[in-house]
């Protein structure tokens, strides 16, 4: 049976390069459920972070569009005012 330090080291190594199913690591069969839960939790957090970033990017883009529209409206209003004089 592996030590807690070995399990923690495996998790750290996996996080640095998560290119395999952590729970399938040879020699760590006794920790399969723990490792699977760790992998799924980590992948969930990565996905959540990615989604949040995408939404924040979309919000910034919309804010820029709104600012451009406001600028256009202001220019049109000023233009209309100037046309009356």
The predicted-structure confidence for 1-45, as pLDDT tens digits, reads as follows 999 999 999 999 999 999 999 999 999 999 999 999 999 999 999
Q: What is the pLDDT of residue 79?
A: 85
Q: What is the DSSP string of 17-76?
A: S--S-GGG-TT-GGGHHHHHHHHHHHHHHHHHHHHHHHHHHHHHHHHHHHHHHHHHHHHH
The predicted-structure confidence for 43-53, as pLDDT tens digits, reads as follows 999 999 999 99
Domain ranges (residues) in the chain = 4-84
């Amino acid at each position: 049976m592996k030590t807690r330090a070995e399990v923690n080291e495996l998790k750290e190594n996996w996080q640095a390069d998560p290119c395999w199913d952590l729970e399938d690591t040879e020699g760590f069969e006794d920790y399969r459920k723990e490792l699977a839960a760790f992998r799924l939790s980590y992948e969930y957090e990565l996905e959540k972070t990615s989604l949040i970033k995408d939404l924040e990017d979309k919000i910034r883009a919309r804010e820029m569009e709104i600012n451009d529209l406001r600028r256009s409206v202001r220019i049109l209003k000023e233009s209309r005012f100037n046309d009356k004089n």
